[in-house]
Amino acid sequence: EEPQALAHGNLGEADLGLIAKVLDRLPLGAGVPHGELARVRQAKLPAGVDGLIVRPEPNPQNENNALVSVYWAGDEQRDAVMAELLQLVLADPFYTRLRTEQQLGYIVSAQADRVGLVARFSLVIQSSTKAPDALLQAVDAFLEGFRAELASLGE
């Protein structure tokens, strides 16, 4: 049976051809040796240490950049609740400042969820005008300014 994929978005025939070529090179299907399967690698950084991974865009005509800034909260129920509460408080101001006021990107969002049992909080920006390092600086500046707003909410 041929592998199938759903492509969603503003894609042309050339884009679909590129996607098909990439999919054709992937080791899909049964019987693939374990060592050839793609893996997601994780590393635990010390508290307060940043890690920035920049990956090149396979389509040179795509002028978009993206930043996914992830903050791991922990594996306790309280951690998940705090991440969800942070999303509720932060999502609208994050969107308003970075999307509406600064016009950094078309997609600007804040999301709390879990990966397995570990809660996380993610800030996402897709931009055709700024590179990932500039998007990260904008996120850091927003968070620094938002810290005072959080403090004013009290316990």
pLDDT band at 61 (very low <50, low <70, confident <90, very high): confident
* Model confidence pLDDT, tens digit, residues 43-54: 566 777 777 677
| Within a domain: 26 | no
Question: Which residue range forms the structural domain that includes residue 117?
Answer: 65-152
pTM above 0.75, yes or no: no
Q: Average pLDDT in the 86-92 region? A: 94
Q: Report DSSP state, residue 125.
A: E
Whether 70 maps to a domain, the answer reads yes
Query: Is residue 60 situated within a structural domain?
Result: no
Q: Does 113 map to a domain?
A: yes
Between the CA of residue 132 and those of 127, 141, 152, what are the distances in Å?
9, 14, 30
- pLDDT score of 42 more than 70: no
Q: Domain count of the chain?
A: 1
In the beta sheet, which residues pair with residue 140?
A: none
Is 80 a domain residue? yes
Side-chain half-sphere of 18: how many Cα atoms within 13 Å? 10
CATH number at residue 92: 3.30.830.10
- Out of 49-63, 87-101, 131-145, pick the least confident: 49-63
Most confident of the following: 16-25, 53-62, 71-80, 88-97: 88-97
Share of the chain above pLDDT 90, in %: 39
Longest Cα separation, the chain: 59
22 vs 27 pLDDT, higher one:
22
Q: What pLDDT does residue 47 have?
A: 73
Q: What is the pLDDT of residues 96-125, one digit of tens each?
A: 999 999 999 889 999 999 888 889 999 999
Q: Measure the CA–CA gap between 50 and 28, rounded to whole angstroms.
A: 34
Does residue 124 fall inside a structural domain?
yes
Q: Is residue 137 part of a domain?
A: yes
The chain-wide mean pLDDT, for the chain, equals 81
Task: Classify residue 81: in a domain, yes or no.
Answer: yes
